[in-house]
Structure 1
Amino acid sequence: MRAWFVFTARDARDLLLSLLPTAFALWISAHLVTGVQYESPFWLLASAAVLAVGDLLVRPLLGPLSAAVGPLVTVVIGVAVQLLLLHTALTAVPGLDLRSLNALWQVYLWTGLVGVAVRWLVGSNDSRWVVRGLLRRRPRDPGTARPPGLLVVQVDGLSMPLLQFGLHSGTLTTIARWVRRGTHVAEGWRAQLPSTTPASQAGFLHGTTEEIPAFRWWDPELRRVLVANRPADAAVIERRAVEAARAAGRRGLLADDGASIGNLFSGQAGHAHLVVSTSRAGGSGRPYLRYVARPFVLGRSLILTLGEIVKEFYQGWQQRVRRVEPRIARRGWYVLLRALTNALLRDLNVALVAQELADGRAVVFVDFLDYDEVAHHAGVARPEALDALAGIDRVLQTLADVAAVAPRDYRVVVVSDHGQAQGPTFEQLGGRSFKDVVADLLDAEGPTHPVVATAAGEEMRGRVDVLVREFAPHAKSERVSARHEEEEPAAGRDAVVVATSGCTALLSVPDAPSGRIDLAEFDRRWPALVPGLLATPGVGFVAGYREDEVVVLGAQGERDLGSGRVRGTDPLEALGPRAASDLLRVMRFGNAPALYVHSTVEPVTGEVHAFEEQVGSHGGLGGGQNEAVLVHPAEWKVDEDLRDRSVPGEAPLVGAATVHEQLVRWMQQVGLRP
């Protein structure tokens, strides 16, 4: 451990260079704030040195305290310490004069703002500042043996086609550098239906994607709709995944001294932060200390968050002025959610990962939602979405640099959970929401039949809910995400539950024991429903049950998934050779819907039509949704027996559970798992 604390001439030089940006920011602040005077710029440099030394002295003292209190108290203490250090730096230096506490607040804010502006001008406006203390540590001697470690970074929503574009366009400079230097290999893997985060993360972390038919669905066991980004529902989903994994003799990917950060599920990690399924009130504040105790870090993140709000208003206005199509209204909660995702939560996740790497966790798994959230609203390859993607790429380099000085020899794997497809929404196409279309068709042949609909809520809302639960223990935070979903009245007889997930919609019948009924029963009870759906613009196919077989119906034909028999035009013909097996697998789940509705997929553009208000969407088939990404160290080969060769000329990994198996095998190769 001595190598971590040896102070050399190089360290002294790096320390001096690190003081210059702070001194410059203080110099600007001194000119802008009435109540601060200085005799010479030298004293500003001395003040920056006092801040740096105070940070080094105070943080070790705060460690034991933050371990005993919750995150909220840690934040309060951290901000108080920052202000106290700044006050000391501005009053203890003889050539400086601070005349009021009001001036102290102004200096704090202006110094943070100037720091953000300077880093933006020099092109380094990323999260390195959050972990700069770690980055100043010298890399270990290559001859020094370190135990192995694994860092898995999930880039939510990144498709293989977009990765290839990013390598050429300069958007993904870090990954491009890794691939071109030969340290990493980038390849695609197929995200099975449903192409959603809960299914893929359950696969990555627990090795199973069973019984997860969508992002939200009617659960016949609980007699209610499950929504994966609600903490209580995520806990149910993970508990079932753990039980299925144990039955198959598996443990969670993070069960051996692992850390789960910013994910839907914990993966049985002993250290879980901002995880939806295990969100709790309170807990240790120590992992958050690096983020809140360093001077200006929290203030910088808050300023960047406000900047993202301004940027979103401008970019949304630009889409309207330029008449970009397709587009949706970008307002309401999304504006705040984007700001939190791309600024404050990104920095917080980086700080938490850095802390776990510094503590030597065997395996760390983190999810960055930045790109996925922006692409839903702006478009898959629009400038703002690519900017979010570039921000994650910069974070990758920061985390790789932290890993280089960590106590373990970490290998970095980058994986995406699914891709995204773009297109006008279903409502833009036909002028009515999918819920309204279903309601009208149910009413066509008789009295009104209630429709219980679960409308779209941004994935990020669940993460904000977790943030509230972590930092405000007494808040009724479970309502934060729940209130953004439509109300779910009790489903009585003849009710049909409609749960939309991207370009798919799941229709269930609660008065049936399993939530599903035969197509013949649909024809008897609601004869206009299925024919009406198939005649509606934007609906590609409807899958249901005919006796014991799963049948896919299209406007011009049908396909029996069991026998493969096709009458007329095959509804799945344009979706590729793996579509039938994907759909049959989901329709065999115990919680599968009575009707599975999928939007049309444009044959040339690959555009889909989301049943919720999203320009970029996922959850179904086609348009890049299933073309996920795996970037792994070049010396770690993908095992040939895991590749699927059922389609001539193709040999990808198929399914997140297979990616889990490959990760486990790599861990076994380096001794991270017996």
Structure 2
Amino acid sequence: MVVRHLLRVNRRLRRAAATSDVPGVVMIQIDGLSAPLARWALAGGALPTMARWLSSGSHTLVEWHAQLPATTPASQAGLLHGASAAVPAFRWYEKESGRLLVTNHPRDSALVEARFSDGRGLLADGGVSVSNVFSGDAPTSLLTMSTIGARGASGRPARYVSAYLLDPFGLTRSLFLTVAEIIKELHQARRQRLRRVRPRIVRTASYTVLRGLTNVLLRNLNLAVVAEHIMRGAPAVYCDFVDYDEIAHHAGPARPEALAALEGIDDVLATLEAVALAAPRPYRFVLLSDHGQSQGATFAQRYGNAVEDVVRRLTGAASPSVAGTGNDEHAGRIGVMAGELGRRAPGETPAAPGSEVVVVASGNLAMIYLNRFPGRATMEDIQERHPRLLRGLVRHRGIGWVLVRSRRLGPVVLGCAGRRLLVSGRVDGEDPLAGYGPYAAADLLRYDGLPHVGDIVVNSSYDPVTEEVAAFEDLIGCHGGLGGWQDRPLLVHPSAWPVDAELSDADAVHRQLVRWLERFGDRPGPGRRRGR
């Protein structure tokens, strides 16, 4: 029924589109899905369309490494622009301007993209960006954080939202399914409480509504937009589906309700596959994720107070400025959709108060900024100004390691029983990075050099047996730091497309995607014109 409806409403576009035998490429991002969890979901039957592609031999699943920070904006800066180093976290503080940047705010994402865009992103040659943080320099960018205010290049996005909501089939179906999703959430949250599932958090009324909107309204709107541009014959489309990530944050990445969200995304894949058969050109599908998630009781649940409370006690600061202890990562997506209808960029960029100490959390990673020091404060500066701070942090049971920069030693990772010098690799005492994976030291050495990294970087404890971390936000499933599956995303690509180099980070995946578009798609490569 959905396929027939999409073909019917787009038949005029199909007749007007120029035909081509050069394949287009549809890239679907399943936000937050780790490769290990995907294999589990495939075995459990939650991803039958993907399983069919893999078992038939048409596609291959590979794992890639998401460098610190394992977040959507950092990974998409890499995947879409090859510029992951421009984003140090989901949210961060910039001392020079006294400004807090949050990447689910359109003005902030637009500012960040302007810093690294060179006009040659993944989608630059006629591509379409749908529901992403950054645009990939797509000439048509819809429901995308960084371009909601740039009306000239966004393809009249309000038309898509209003047309979808005014369509009797789409509106009636979405309203019914949204209410059903809300009822489902209420039942599943109650079931967790009655069964005393641990860990768990209170699933608030605002999240209940947000789940209904992201898992139904936004998903179906994304589907409608992608289907339209397939029928228009777009050379490349990239769309981020956040359904799984949103539920995994609140219920847990491997919980039944999170796996059920994957079934919904798999239905989208099957629908788009059917729509593509009627398109004016053949299409190839690429699936990928931006990061994984790691599970665990929150820092506050385990230890009775938040990380900013620990910092307050150790520094004597009356009230550190705090940012990033909420759980609204995808609320900005709904704000973007509302903004498309209202023809304005929703939300304002918050300015961090002029406190001496600013604490910013993203998942199980936190950054501490000391405003008394205009640049990056050194370990020696910190010890002189706050002699109890570093020692108190590393001795806390909920903290696994602390990264600081020494004047003499360079970047140093401190633990409760030892330290690691990142430049030389020397370990004194016990290695604080033991158990955090083979990429931990290299990731931290790179991370130390990124712009706007905190004076102190703090990662939660990690249990390698249970693979649990402790989010500094109110989230059961989290990502952004080290520990567990959060740095293990996936890439599912046509088997006939070779992987030319190690997929060591998001920038490497970007380069591989560009090569595939040039060799097998409709992106002009060196010495080749479009429509070869």
TM tier, smaller: over 0.9
2:105 corresponds to: 230
The partner residue of 1:618 within 443, 465, 479 is 479
8 A Cα contact 2:459 2:481, kept in partner: yes
SS at 2:326's partner residue?
coil
1:376 corresponds to: 249
2:354 corresponds to: 491
The partner residue of 1:501 within 353, 362, 366 is 362
2:280 corresponds to: 407
In the aligned structure 1, how far is the partner of 2:260 from the partner of 2:60? 23
Partner amino acid for 1:576?
G
2:524 corresponds to: 673
1:70 corresponds to: none
In the aligned structure 1, how far is the partner of 2:524 from the partner of 2:34? 30
8 A Cα contact 1:135 1:402, kept in partner: no
In the aligned structure 2, how far is the partner of 1:255 from the partner of 1:489? 35
2:499 is the counterpart of 1:638:
yes
In the aligned structure 1, how far is the partner of 2:180 from the partner of 2:98? 43
The partner residue of 2:51 within 161, 170, 176 is 176
In the aligned structure 2, how far is the partner of 1:458 from the partner of 1:215? 11
Shift of 1:488: 5.0
In the aligned structure 2, how far is the partner of 1:172 from the partner of 1:405? 24
Shift of 1:129: 6.5
In the aligned structure 1, how far is the partner of 2:86 from the partner of 2:190? 41
1:244-290 deviations in whole A, cap 9, x for unaligned? Answer: xx3xxx71111111100010111111111111111139735544576
1:273 corresponds to: 142
1:259 corresponds to: 128
Partner amino acid for 1:441?
L
In the aligned structure 2, how far is the partner of 1:237 from the partner of 1:585? 19
8 A Cα contact 2:100 2:352, kept in partner: no
- Computed over aligned residues only, the root mean square deviation of the Cα atoms, in angstroms, reads 2.1
Q: Provide the TM-score with structure 2 as the length reference.
A: 0.92
2:185 is the counterpart of 1:315:
no
Shift of 1:224: 1.0
Of the structure 1 ranges 401-410 and 354-363, higher mean CA displacement relative to structure 2 is found in 401-410
1:461 corresponds to: 331
In the aligned structure 2, how far is the partner of 1:354 from the partner of 1:574? 44
8 A Cα contact 1:131 1:290, kept in partner: no
8 A Cα contact 2:357 2:371, kept in partner: yes
In the aligned structure 2, how far is the partner of 1:331 from the partner of 1:448? 30
2:90 corresponds to: 215
Partner amino acid for 1:258?
G
Shift of 1:145: 5.7
Partner amino acid for 2:524?
R
Partner amino acid for 2:46?
T
Partner amino acid for 1:471?
L
In the aligned structure 1, how far is the partner of 2:264 from the partner of 2:3? 11
The partner residue of 1:195 within 45, 54, 70 is 70
Of the structure 1 ranges 585-594 and 363-372, higher mean CA displacement relative to structure 2 is found in 585-594
2:447 is the counterpart of 1:586:
yes
SS at 1:375's partner residue?
helix
SS at 1:355's partner residue?
helix
In the aligned structure 1, how far is the partner of 2:22 from the partner of 2:86? 37
In the aligned structure 2, how far is the partner of 1:167 from the partner of 1:132? 29
Shift of 1:508: 1.2
- 1:129-148 alignment to 2 at 5 Å? 131-133=6-8, 146-148=21-23
For structure 1, the 5+ residue unaligned runs are 1-17, 19-126, 644-652
In the aligned structure 2, how far is the partner of 1:150 from the partner of 1:227? 31
2:509 is the counterpart of 1:659:
yes
Shift of 1:462: 1.1
In the aligned structure 2, how far is the partner of 1:288 from the partner of 1:450? 41
In the aligned structure 2, how far is the partner of 1:417 from the partner of 1:577? 19
1:534 corresponds to: 394
Of the structure 1 ranges 224-233 and 284-293, higher mean CA displacement relative to structure 2 is found in 284-293
From the superposition, tell whether residues 467 and 281 of structure 1 become closer, same or farther in structure 2 (CA, over 3 Å).
farther
Shift of 1:533: 1.1
From the superposition, tell whether residues 547 and 328 of structure 1 become closer, same or farther in structure 2 (CA, over 3 Å).
same
SS at 2:209's partner residue?
helix
1:285-316 deviations in whole A, cap 9, x for unaligned? Answer: 54457634543221110121111111111110
In the aligned structure 1, how far is the partner of 2:84 from the partner of 2:35? 21
Partner amino acid for 2:506?
A
In the aligned structure 2, how far is the partner of 1:168 from the partner of 1:509? 48
Partner amino acid for 1:448?
A
SS at 2:328's partner residue?
coil
8 A Cα contact 1:148 1:672, kept in partner: no
1:544-565 deviations in whole A, cap 9, x for unaligned? Answer: 0111500000001000001111
Shift of 1:628: 0.5
Shift of 1:489: 4.7
1:522-545 deviations in whole A, cap 9, x for unaligned? Answer: 111111111111121210000001
Shift of 1:605: 1.4
2:468 is the counterpart of 1:607:
yes
**Structure showing greater Rg:** 1
Q: Provide the TM-score with structure 1 as the length reference.
A: 0.73
From the superposition, tell whether residues 286 and 227 of structure 1 become closer, same or farther in structure 2 (CA, over 3 Å).
closer
- 1:371-520 alignment to 2 at 5 Å? 371-443=244-316, 448=318, 450-473=320-343, 477-479=346-348, 489-492=352-355, 495-514=356-375, 516-520=376-380
8 A Cα contact 2:143 2:157, kept in partner: no
2:528 corresponds to: none
In the aligned structure 2, how far is the partner of 1:284 from the partner of 1:526? 50
In the aligned structure 2, how far is the partner of 1:596 from the partner of 1:273? 35
In the aligned structure 1, how far is the partner of 2:406 from the partner of 2:82? 31
In the aligned structure 2, how far is the partner of 1:527 from the partner of 1:155? 45
Partner amino acid for 2:67?
Q
In the aligned structure 1, how far is the partner of 2:326 from the partner of 2:73? 15
Shift of 1:128: 4.1
Partner amino acid for 1:228?
T
From the superposition, tell whether residues 134 and 630 of structure 1 become closer, same or farther in structure 2 (CA, over 3 Å).
farther
Shift of 1:573: 1.4
8 A Cα contact 1:129 1:297, kept in partner: no
In the aligned structure 2, how far is the partner of 1:220 from the partner of 1:531? 24
2:209 is the counterpart of 1:333:
no
1:167 corresponds to: 42
8 A Cα contact 2:365 2:472, kept in partner: yes
1:194-220 deviations in whole A, cap 9, x for unaligned? Answer: 000001001111011113111111123
- 1:534-573 alignment to 2 at 5 Å? 534-547=394-407, 549-573=410-434
Shift of 1:152: 0.4
In the aligned structure 2, how far is the partner of 1:489 from the partner of 1:310? 38
1:34 corresponds to: none
8 A Cα contact 2:321 2:352, kept in partner: no
SS at 1:152's partner residue?
strand
From the superposition, tell whether residues 505 and 258 of structure 1 become closer, same or farther in structure 2 (CA, over 3 Å).
same
8 A Cα contact 1:435 1:453, kept in partner: no
Shift of 1:135: 9.4
SS at 1:573's partner residue?
coil
8 A Cα contact 1:327 1:378, kept in partner: yes
1:636-668 deviations in whole A, cap 9, x for unaligned? Answer: 0101xx21xxxxxxxxx1111000000010011
In the aligned structure 2, how far is the partner of 1:344 from the partner of 1:231? 20
SS at 1:500's partner residue?
strand
Partner amino acid for 1:596?
V
Partner amino acid for 1:496?
V
From the superposition, tell whether residues 380 and 130 of structure 1 become closer, same or farther in structure 2 (CA, over 3 Å).
farther
1:310-349 deviations in whole A, cap 9, x for unaligned? Answer: 1111110110000000000001321111110111111100
SS at 1:317's partner residue?
helix
Shift of 1:581: 0.7
